[in-house]
Amino acid sequence: MPYQPRAIDQALLALLPEAPAIAIEGAKGVGKTETALQQANHQLFLYNPADRIVAEADPMLEQLPDGTVLIDEWQNAPATWDAVRRAVDRGAAPGRFILTGSATPAAGIDSHSGAGRILSLHMRPMAIFERGGQKPSVSLAAMFDGDADISGTSAATLSDYVEAIGSSGFPGIHHHSPQLRQRHLNSYIDRVIDRDLPGAGYATRKPDTLRRWMAAYGAASSTTTTYSGILDATTAGDGSQPAKDTTAQFRDLLTSIWILDPVPAWNSLRNPLKAIRLSPKHQLVDPALALTLQRLGPRDLTSQRGNHLLGPLFESLATLSVRAAAAATGASVSHLRTAKGLQEVDLIAESFDGRLIGFEVKLSVSVSDADVRHLLWLRRQFPEDVVDLAVLYSGPVAYRRPDGVACIPLDLLGS
């Protein structure tokens, strides 16, 4: 299958001529290796014992051929991270190393952070606009510049968005039949529990308990439910629950291997708001995993069994798209909720120099005045920082309202 371009390609191409070492990090299966291979001249696959021996026999990385070298799954030989850092200190040329990894080194392994030497890019599963469907017509980068053309017509219907939620953004899963796709998603969760977490230094003594906690977390997608609330939902048939410190360990380890991908709370240090909630908004790395953990399929989202998850997982899908588009420009993504819940902005994209774009996500084919009231409040609070506002919705047409808010069908937003 030919390579499907990703938004992060833009950031990689922009940074390679200047940065000696770039790490592409993210969960297993998001496409890190294929993306890195598009730019690499040589490869070391450290899951391969032969390549690992080569890397370990050259601790200074001085015998590698010229050009850009990909060191894939570097955590299988953690000393290579420090070797790259030392090579940068010795004056490695721009574009010399690309590292890919899906986990931090196991507990007890000492490794320098690489700060100041190794740039990090976070890669996620494919957003809608990366899946080879309709070409997006609205650019997030242009929105930051203040000159976005808000136009275009989408053919996507509710059933298309339901399918996009269930089909997964993992490149190796997305193109399969629904039956095979479901098996792959279940296997992905199993491998997280019985291989990836042990590889990160955690022995899963009660895998069923961990899976129940992950299911409770997935059911809280796109909410700021407290972790104690998620714990309360983690019950066995006999009503028993895991200990609080056990679930805290679940949370930290699943975050370290990029399976949990919460959206942090936003608060401007330049002009801080009073009485703002700092709780993250819960997201799994892929909304299809949240659906699978509930033992549901895409069709269930429009039935009584699963329609309570349709809105939250549509927001998860939108979050994935905004994050992918933001990664191309180096922007961050967060959410805002005031202490009493009177104002809430689903997503805020923030550029490195503090420009803001506020997003509301609405599973609706139309946008009302009520849908934009929190966005307009954000603009009133930060008139010099907010450069655009938008509602991502399931309707057919991209247009700008008289109040300046852009209404964008979700599948038309790109980088």
Give pLDDT tens digits for 67-111: 999 999 998 888 999 999 999 999 999 999 999 987 654 444 445
Where helices occur in 90-233 by DSSP H, the ranges are: 140-145, 158-167, 171-174, 178-191, 197-199, 207-219, 227-232
Same domain? 134 vs 65 = no
Quick one: pLDDT band at residue 240, thresholds 50, 70, 90?
A: confident
Same domain? 110 vs 166 = no
Quick one: pLDDT band at residue 341, thresholds 50, 70, 90?
A: confident
Query: Model confidence over 112-160: pLDDT tens digits?
Result: 556 678 999 999 999 999 998 889 999 999 999 999 999 999 999 999 9
Regarding predicted confidence, which is higher, 234 or 288?
288
**Average pLDDT in the chain:** 92
Kindly state whether residue 60 falls inside one of the protein's structural domains. yes
pLDDT for 238 equals 67
For residue 293 the two structure tokens come to 């953990």
CB 130 within 8 A of CB 4: yes
Angle between helices 8-15 and 310-329 (to 10 degrees): 20
pLDDT for 214 equals 96
Structural domain containing residue 114? 8-122
Same domain? 366 vs 393 = yes
**Lowest mean pLDDT, pick from 136-140, 203-207, 221-225, 234-238:** 234-238
The domain boundary, picked from 82, 104, 122, lies at: 122
Q: What is the mean pLDDT of residues 319-341?
A: 94
pLDDT for 1 equals 75
Question: How many domains does the chain fold into?
Answer: 2
Share above pLDDT 70 across residues of the chain, in percent, rounded to a whole number: 96
Same domain? 255 vs 332 = yes
Buried b (16+ CB within 10 A) or exposed e, 329-352: bebebbbbbbeeeebbbbbbbbbe
User: Is residue 268 scored above 90 in pLDDT?
Assistant: no
Q: How many angstroms separate the Cα of 285 from the Cα of each of 188, 258, 263?
A: 12, 7, 11
pLDDT for 104 equals 54
Q: CATH number for the domain including 55?
A: 3.40.50.300
User: Is residue 253 scored above 70 in pLDDT?
Assistant: yes
Same domain? 212 vs 324 = yes
pLDDT for 107 equals 45
Distance CA 395, CA 157 (A): 8
Same domain? 260 vs 348 = yes
Which one, of 30, 292, 26, 296, lies nearest residue 173 by Cα?
Answer: 30
Kindly state whether residue 1 falls inside one of the protein's structural domains. no
Which one, of 11, 30, 283, 321, lies nearest residue 156 by Cα?
Answer: 321
Same domain? 108 vs 38 = yes
As a whole number of Å, the CA-based R_g of the chain is 22
Query: Model confidence over 362-386: pLDDT tens digits?
Result: 999 999 999 999 999 999 999 999 9
User: Is residue 21 scored above 70 in pLDDT?
Assistant: yes
Q: What is the mean pLDDT of residues 283-306?
A: 96
DSSP letter (8 states) at residue 364: S
Same domain? 43 vs 14 = yes
User: Which bin fits 141, alpha (ψ -120 to 50), beta or left (φ > 0)?
Assistant: alpha
User: Which bin fits 258, alpha (ψ -120 to 50), beta or left (φ > 0)?
Assistant: left
Q: CB atoms < 10 A from the CB of 228, how many?
A: 9
Quick one: pLDDT band at residue 198, thresholds 50, 70, 90?
A: confident
The domain boundary, picked from 107, 122, 137, lies at: 122
Distance CA 167, CA 75 (A): 29
pLDDT for 228 equals 92
User: Which bin fits 40, alpha (ψ -120 to 50), beta or left (φ > 0)?
Assistant: beta
Which one, of 125, 204, 121, 116, lies nearest residue 169 by Cα?
Answer: 125
pTM of the model: 0.94
User: Is residue 44 scored above 90 in pLDDT?
Assistant: yes
